[in-house]
Structure 1
Amino acid sequence: MELIGHVKNYEWGKLGDESYVARIAAANQTDGTFVVDANKPYAELWMGTHCSGPSLVKQSGLELGSVIRPQEQPTYLFKVLSIQKALSIQLHPNKMEATALHAKFPDIYKDPNHKPELAIALTEFKAMCGFRRYTDIYSQLQNWPELQALLGADEIAKTNVPEDEENYEVREVMRNLYSSLMNLEPEQLEKCISSMHNKILAKPEKSSLDQLFLELHNDFGSDVGLLSIYFLNVLDLQPGQSIYLAANVPHAYIRGDCVECMSCSDNVVRAGLTPKFKDIETLLRLVEVKSASPESLMCEPIVKDPKRQPYTRTYCPNDPWLLEFSVSMLTVPPGVNDYPITNGINGSILLVTAGKGTLRGNVKNITVQFGSIVFLSSEAGAELQLWRNSEDLNEEFVAYLAMQREKV
């Protein structure tokens, strides 16, 4: 059945037609009921049954959750994001911690669930994720006497160890450095960041990290999150590249458009780039300070069935706790008129981002094109066929398919 996604107009979203979300939403509602406002931010498009933004069945206007069987209720929330201004630096507790936090602080942590997330770039996409290699952090901090004075040059020097010597003791030093950073007084932050800002402005040539500092300073002033760019990896993803955000890994989306899939939870522990509440005690207790290379943070997709489905790549994070979702990307090239699509045992949600075709299964055929959102019931069959007529064969067909993860 065809769906209408729920649009969120958060202030960090891209404006008007610059937003991928706005273009998808406008194409999805071809009856003219959705009109793009050039001065309005379009941040997120939600696809699923989340109570804060349920999808509607296009034909009836009913909420998706009210018309599908209990076993087909999505265990995930599928999204498109269009980001103009960085989101907060944050992490998400694991299932056990989420349960405990919800029981103790239900007004802050609204549910007992974990919140693993998978982001797949639709356009060039910038994000922060995970602690840099410690030698890299050391090198970054050597450039700034302001940070050395606040955090302690001797303590910083203890982290200058190669990856194979990064042990528990060194990680505790890094945890203490990060704790010192997060507990700086506002006056200390203001003085430090102001001095660094003036130095960067005076540079005749600015690095990409300098440019990011200036961008974040323009949006967030003397927020502690500005200094996190010297601790966390800054990743530049190309379309199709992906990162997986496991429990306790600090991260922030900075700029660009992506498809995101996450478990249904609202539990967030914030660490900066936000005026919202920061639970520093919980943050410092949970944060994963183990270093990681940018390459290791990428979630590489695999082709599960090269013979029958060579154009289907599935993103399979190596996380035994992830049970709620998996996402596949279909990139069917021009000239292929018939292609199999695997459905989930409890159904799936399909989002089309390029091309046109017809879905054929055990239910009524559905014509899909850019902007189409379809819930594929398990009654549609374990496998459907994408059929394209001669007029559709001149362009590539691209779609993203979210479903509950198979047990492994």
Structure 2
Amino acid sequence: MDRLANTVRPYAWGSTTAIPELLGIDATGAPQAEMWMGAHPGAPSRIDRGAGPVSLAEVIDAAPEAELGADTVRAFGPRLPFLLKLLAAGSPLSLQVHPDLAQAREGFADEERRGVPIDAGHRNYKDANHKPELLCALTPFDGLCGFRHPAQAAALLEGLGVDALKPYVDILRASPEEDALREVLTAVVTAEHDAMADTVEHAAAAAEKLGAQGGEHAGSYAAYAAIAHHYPGDPGVIAAMLLNYVQLQPGEALFLGAGIPHAYLNGLGVELMANSDNVLRCGLTPKHVDVPELLRIVRFASGDPGVLRPEADGGEEVYETPIDEFRLSRFVVAPGAAPRALDARTPQVLLCTAGTVRLRAAGGEGAPDELTLGPGESAFAPAGEHLTVSGEGTLFRATVVA
């Protein structure tokens, strides 16, 4: 196994304090949004097997079956199929959706055929993979996930008392669900900028007032007012009002499948996703919004956001999802407890989020037989590496569905 040295991405929406506090280091005052653990080419972790630091991606590329196991390579190719992150939102992320696998392959091939540079600001597909993801809260965590039922969205918009929103309310109440959601989202993201900015301003003022008054939708109104504070005049504020507002408590999680509009608003969490960077944006961003492609990808269906809680499996607590590329679980290790064995069939990335945990391996050439991890520290174990965990703390485990 190998201790990971990881990159922290300084995206503007990141918290300035959450990741430094977890790591026990001084904050710099700059945003620290995501710490990446894995072999994504954008910021691969680095390891040292005695000859100096090297990219985990390079190590896997050199011997994929030795690092990932034959079954993982056969199923997903010669790359680590998942990416684990610490995500620290200090302000709202863009309102976004991700394509399914067929859409990603089609979109990537189309942009390649048209010669769109891979780093172009208007490029939608950076790879040919889908990007399902799972977010598990480490602190209270706020987000938006999936469409509200049209009648619920209509009631929330109507409650603002903004005349410019009345046509949307009428559509949401009169049309079939899919048609209503599609028509209103389309109208919002294609509206004339100045008129929509004025609507957003009035809606935000009303939401702030209603959020402070209390009542059934007070939490949602307050959240939308806060979003508008960060993105004044952005049509994504109205689009966000079509979505479910979710508050996660530590240990709770959200699974975000293809086509589900979502945005993270505030909090620290562990995020696990398929190894992809494909994002279609709806708003709350200065970046490119491709309306026709967005409308092709979004699934216009309402539903409960489906908060997940871990299910016990022996000493392991598993967050069940319908995805094979990744599996997230955690161990809450009690002092004095017998060491717990970790399944060795697949590659795994292990992240300590509290306390101190010890990973013990049978050993191998060039590898230590024990690692101690503190909060924010992580390790990579190749397929076939038999490990046990002990100590006192919390360990998250990212691996592949065997």
User: 2:53 is aligned with what amino acid?
Assistant: G
Structure 1 residue 370: Cα displacement = 2.3
Contact 2:350 2:397 in 1 (8 A): yes
Give, in whole Å, the separation in 2 of the partners of 1:133 and 1:146: 20
Distance 1:58-1:150 versus aligned 2 partners, 3 A rule: farther
Give, in whole Å, the separation in 1 of the partners of 2:169 and 2:223: 24
Question: What corresponds to 1:401 in structure 2?
Answer: 397
Contact 2:139 2:269 in 1 (8 A): yes
User: 1:192 is aligned with what amino acid?
Assistant: T
Root mean square deviation, CA, Å: 2.1
Question: What corresponds to 2:85 in structure 1?
Answer: 79
Contact 1:360 1:385 in 2 (8 A): yes
Counterpart check, 1:302 vs 2:311: yes
Counterpart check, 1:189 vs 2:185: no
Counterpart check, 1:66 vs 2:58: yes
Give, in whole Å, the separation in 2 of the partners of 1:7 and 1:215: 26
Contact 2:333 2:390 in 1 (8 A): no
Question: What corresponds to 1:125 in structure 2?
Answer: 141
Distance 1:342-1:23 versus aligned 2 partners, 3 A rule: farther
| Deviation readout 1:123-163 (Å, 9 max, x if unpaired) | 1000100001233112112214436656355323225xxxx
Give, in whole Å, the separation in 1 of the partners of 2:235 and 2:223: 14
Structure 1 residue 219: Cα displacement = 1.1
Contact 1:128 1:252 in 2 (8 A): yes
| Deviation readout 1:160-190 (Å, 9 max, x if unpaired) | xxxxxxxxx4322221122112221112212
Contact 2:208 2:222 in 1 (8 A): no
Counterpart check, 1:222 vs 2:245: no
Question: What corresponds to 1:262 in structure 2?
Answer: 273
Structure 1 residue 6: Cα displacement = 1.2
Q: Secondary structure at the match of 2:389?
A: strand
Give, in whole Å, the separation in 1 of the partners of 2:179 and 2:350: 44
User: 2:213 is aligned with what amino acid?
Assistant: E
Question: What corresponds to 1:331 in structure 2?
Answer: 332
| Deviation readout 1:319-353 (Å, 9 max, x if unpaired) | 3xx2211111111234414222223x232010011
Question: What corresponds to 1:54 in structure 2?
Answer: 44
Question: What corresponds to 1:97 in structure 2?
Answer: 103
| Deviation readout 1:230-263 (Å, 9 max, x if unpaired) | 2100100011100011000000000000101111
Structure 1, unpaired ranges of 5+: 28-34, 160-168, 389-395
Contact 1:148 1:156 in 2 (8 A): no
Bigger drift between 217-226 and 353-362 goes to: 353-362
Give, in whole Å, the separation in 1 of the partners of 2:378 and 2:84: 11
Give, in whole Å, the separation in 2 of the partners of 1:366 and 1:133: 49
Distance 1:129-1:401 versus aligned 2 partners, 3 A rule: same
Bigger drift between 364-373 and 140-149 goes to: 140-149
Give, in whole Å, the separation in 2 of the partners of 1:82 and 1:49: 20
| Deviation readout 1:217-236 (Å, 9 max, x if unpaired) | 22111101111232100100
In the alignment of these two chains, the number of paired residues is 366
Contact 1:141 1:148 in 2 (8 A): no
| Deviation readout 1:62-103 (Å, 9 max, x if unpaired) | 111233431324111110011101100000011111111112
Given the alignment, which residue of 213, 217, 226 partners 1:205?
Answer: 213
Give, in whole Å, the separation in 1 of the partners of 2:59 and 2:296: 42
Question: What corresponds to 1:6 in structure 2?
Answer: 7
Question: What corresponds to 2:346 in structure 1?
Answer: 346
Structure 2, unpaired ranges of 5+: 69-78, 117-122, 364-368
Question: What corresponds to 1:32 in structure 2?
Answer: none
Question: What corresponds to 2:382 in structure 1?
Answer: 377
Question: What corresponds to 1:239 in structure 2?
Answer: 250
Give, in whole Å, the separation in 1 of the partners of 2:240 and 2:292: 21
| Deviation readout 1:380-401 (Å, 9 max, x if unpaired) | 22xx22244xxxxxxx420111
Give, in whole Å, the separation in 2 of the partners of 1:329 and 1:143: 42
Q: Secondary structure at the match of 1:196?
A: helix
Distance 1:194-1:66 versus aligned 2 partners, 3 A rule: closer
Q: TM-score, normalised by structure 2?
A: 0.85
Give, in whole Å, the separation in 2 of the partners of 1:202 and 1:237: 24
Give, in whole Å, the separation in 2 of the partners of 1:147 and 1:348: 54
